[in-house]
Chain A
């Protein structure tokens, strides 16, 4: 094969990697986007909820082997999907007993609508989850063992990693399901009402606190599924959340704060930029490239790709 042919394959391979990695980023961003969109809470602990999802998948598949009977191909997928409800329950309880105290109707009259308290609280939760994880799970890097992460489907000379491809398909499916839930069901409409105008929503009978609780649980649960999917490809330890939380924020802002669809595209764009920038820039500048593109988009479209004009970043 000639150098030009290899160069062409390099481009296709980087594009494929960008799309596949970006799909999972997109799902993470959707989780964060729901929480911000509905509750207007900047959740600094979001990466750590993702870490909980990774450990949930790990213990279900490899650690305790509860799902081992499904075999090495299906068990990691089932583990990732089950991580969602587990972390949803944790998120629900955390909202009920902690986050509800600094959000919603209780803090409407508070200074900056309670945002200072929210930032401190979510940062505190992030620290407790990461350090608690260190005590509970230990510092050893672990991963969900599966042949999916080392096998690929071939399309000509382009290889698609099986774990990443399955992750991408599930991410797109979940994002679509969530979109349909928000737009087609009465519960979803209640969530959107609580997001758009909590006072008016309360007047028409929407339980805003309950809607917030559902949004928080859904947000962290969806991100936990994304974490569970990544746990097959990447080894992790309790501090991994920090590596992803910046990507998630960039994705949400890039897509447009408050837009669920935008959050997915934001994550996908980040994945693409991260992987494709290596074709022209030194690999070390991979993450710098993300923020250059991020700044350019924010410069030309302050509301993000899909954000509403009055919701500027």
Chain B
């Protein structure tokens, strides 16, 4: 009997020790990252993870979340795979398996983000995204925050900027434009205002207008249309590196590469180090891409740290934006004072800062409008120059002068 009592006392003591109590400070706060880790977009997911890990290292080394007693941030990664269905399933797993997540970033491809945020919205989980599609923040959702300018906004501000660059270099305005895009959400969103009269409004003529389903098996008939129309501007808008390679090599083969037809793309994949490995610097020289974020003037320290720690040759939109997203979550947690997803969402909604996380986004301001779109988000134009994609626009962020291809 005595033995039983002793065992009972030990058992009660053990249970008491294990039970969480108010005396235990929160030791870690979980943040999700949902992006393609497999399939054709896995590389972009990898770059996002690298940016997030670097930010979390920096935050934790600097003492973690001070408002939560120095709690450390912990990244939980979910594979969005290669289809919208897989991305949605991953989002369902994320909200079910990790109920204490305070927020997430993702899901790179706009089509995936549209699917993922349907799940996270119901779970009231704040999601920061670098995806471009206008639809992401046009559905009245309260827990989605778009740090990039939307595709439509990019389209509207890109053409005038490109026309100015062309006019400055050649002395005349471009008269004809060709658009070739894949049918994923981001390029469709980017090209929509141009296709629906934007080109004509600027006094230009749309001479080629093609949409394809990725991945391409061969780009010959597509680029043949560019060859036969010889546009002054060629907006080439795929999303997969395999399609970039097919199109750019075909341009070169048809004698239209290396500046004979100025090529402007959209998205960070055109500036990815992998494209250089697949194509070589000669074929990329002069190619421009419109992105939402890129390594810019004033970010030299973080770029240097990123290159040293990851072995990547430069920082792309995927890494710098995800780095910035982690900084936004840190700022929101400090402001909310609690590891509660709803309070974190409210802190992001009411955030208006030009310091801290604002340093990592063009426009240097973090404030979201009622739709969740970042106020003052502007496009960045990056151009391949001698094997490196450099920011050439806007002038405040530019690290090099743009070179307009001569025909």
CB within 8 Å of B: which residues of A? 6, 9-10, 13-14, 16-17, 20-21, 131, 134, 139-143, 145, 149-152, 159, 161, 164, 233-237, 239, 243, 274-275, 278-279, 282-284, 286-287
B39 at the interface (CB under 8 A from A): yes
B353 at the interface (CB under 8 A from A): no
Query: B45, B215, B220, B245: which has the most chain A beta carbons within 10 Å?
Result: B220
Give complex CA distance A76, B387 in Å. 24
User: B residues 354-370 with Cβ under 8 Å of A?
Assistant: none
Give complex CA distance A283, B180 in Å. 10
Give complex CA distance A10, B253 in Å. 15
Q: List 7 A-B contacts (CB under 8 A).
A: A16-B220, A141-B240, A141-B274, A142-B277, A151-B253, A275-B221, A283-B222
Residue of B nearest to A274 (CB): B217
In the complex, what residues of A have CB within 8 A of residue B283's CB? 150
Known: A134-B42, A150-B283, A284-B211. A275 touches B278 (CB 8 A): no
Is the beta-carbon distance between A139 and B37 smaller than 8 angstroms?
yes
Known: A139-B42, A284-B212. A17 touches B253 (CB 8 A): no
Is the beta-carbon distance between A275 and B215 smaller than 8 angstroms?
no
Known: A139-B38, A142-B278, A274-B217. A239 touches B224 (CB 8 A): no
Give complex CA distance A6, B254 in Å. 14
B43 at the interface (CB under 8 A from A): yes
Among B42, B212, B254, contact of A283 (Cβ-Cβ < 8 Å): B212
Among B228, B249, B252, B277, contact of A6 (Cβ-Cβ < 8 Å): B228
A-B contacts besides A6-B228, A139-B42, A140-B277, 12 pairs, CB < 8 Å = A10-B224, A21-B217, A139-B38, A145-B280, A150-B249, A234-B242, A234-B245, A235-B241, A239-B38, A278-B221, A284-B183, A284-B212
Residue of B nearest to A244 (CB): B217
In the complex, what residues of A have CB within 8 A of residue B220's CB? 13-14, 16-17, 161, 275
Is the beta-carbon distance between B253 and A159 smaller than 8 angstroms?
yes
Known: A161-B253, A233-B246, A284-B213. A279 touches B40 (CB 8 A): no
Is the beta-carbon distance between B228 and A141 smaller than 8 angstroms?
no
Is the beta-carbon distance between A236 and B211 smaller than 8 angstroms?
no
In the complex, what residues of A have CB within 8 A of residue B222's CB? 278, 283
Residue of B nearest to A278 (CB): B221
Q: B87-105 toward A: CB 8 Å interface, digit per residue (1/0)?
A: 0000000000000000000
Is the beta-carbon distance between B242 and A14 smaller than 8 angstroms?
no
Task: Give B208 Cβ to nearest chain A Cβ, in Å.
Answer: 11
Is the beta-carbon distance between A14 and B253 smaller than 8 angstroms?
no
Residue of B nearest to A270 (CB): B217
B124 at the interface (CB under 8 A from A): no
Is the beta-carbon distance between A152 and B253 smaller than 8 angstroms?
yes
In the complex, what residues of B have CB within 8 A of residue A151's CB? 253
Is the beta-carbon distance between B42 and A237 smaller than 8 angstroms?
yes
In the complex, what residues of A have CB within 8 A of residue B277's CB? 140, 142
Residue of A nearest to B223 (CB): A13
In the complex, what residues of A have CB within 8 A of residue B212's CB? 283-284, 286
In the complex, what residues of A have CB within 8 A of residue B42's CB? 134, 139, 237
In the complex, what residues of A have CB within 8 A of residue B211's CB? 282-284
Give complex CA distance A243, B228 in Å. 30
User: B residues 336-380 with Cβ under 8 Å of A?
Assistant: none
Q: B250-276 toward A: CB 8 Å interface, digit per residue (1/0)?
A: 101110000000000000000000100
Among B37, B38, B46, B221, contact of A13 (Cβ-Cβ < 8 Å): B221
Is the beta-carbon distance between B43 and A140 smaller than 8 angstroms?
yes
The 5 residue pairs across chains A and B that have the minimum distance between CB atoms: A139-B42, A17-B220, A6-B228, A283-B212, A278-B221
Among B45, B218, B253, B280, contact of A275 (Cβ-Cβ < 8 Å): B218
Give complex CA distance A278, B219 in Å. 11
Is the beta-carbon distance between A150 and B253 smaller than 8 angstroms?
yes
B210 at the interface (CB under 8 A from A): yes
B82 at the interface (CB under 8 A from A): yes
B225 at the interface (CB under 8 A from A): yes
Give complex CA distance A221, B216 in Å. 24
Is the beta-carbon distance between B228 and A10 smaller than 8 angstroms?
yes
Give complex CA distance A237, B220 in Å. 22
In the complex, what residues of A have CB within 8 A of residue B254's CB? 152, 159
Is the beta-carbon distance between B228 and A17 smaller than 8 angstroms?
no
Among A13, A150, A237, A243, contact of B224 (Cβ-Cβ < 8 Å): A13
In the complex, what residues of A have CB within 8 A of residue B253's CB? 150-152, 159, 161
Known: A234-B246, A235-B278, A286-B212. A139 touches B241 (CB 8 A): no
Query: A16, A140, A141, A237: which has the most chain B beta carbons within 10 Å?
Result: A141
Query: A150, A233, A236: which has the most chain B beta carbons within 10 Å?
Result: A150
Give complex CA distance A131, B81 in Å. 12
In the complex, what residues of A have CB within 8 A of residue B224's CB? 9-10, 13-14
Give complex CA distance A282, B274 in Å. 30
Is the beta-carbon distance between B249 and A149 smaller than 8 angstroms?
yes
Is the beta-carbon distance between A286 and B213 smaller than 8 angstroms?
yes
Task: Give B206 Cβ to nearest chain A Cβ, in Å.
Answer: 15
In the complex, what residues of B have CB within 8 A of residue A9's CB? 224, 228
Give complex CA distance A310, B246 in Å. 42
Known: A140-B274, A159-B254, A161-B253. A237 touches B40 (CB 8 A): yes
User: B residues 185-244 with Cβ under 8 Å of A?
Assistant: 210-213, 215, 217-218, 220-222, 224-225, 228, 240-242
In the complex, what residues of B have CB within 8 A of residue A20's CB? 218
Residue of B nearest to A285 (CB): B213
Residue of B nearest to A10 (CB): B224
Task: Give A135 Cβ to nearest chain B Cβ, in Å.
Answer: 10
Q: B112-130 toward A: CB 8 Å interface, digit per residue (1/0)?
A: 0000000000000000000
In the complex, what residues of B have CB within 8 A of residue A283's CB? 210-213, 221-222
Is the beta-carbon distance between B213 and A164 smaller than 8 angstroms?
no
Is the beta-carbon distance between B218 and A21 smaller than 8 angstroms?
yes
Is the beta-carbon distance between A287 and B213 smaller than 8 angstroms?
yes
Give complex CA distance A9, B253 in Å. 16
Residue of B nearest to A236 (CB): B242
Give complex CA distance A145, B40 in Å. 19
In the complex, what residues of A have CB within 8 A of residue B210's CB? 282-283
Is the beta-carbon distance between A164 and B218 smaller than 8 angstroms?
yes
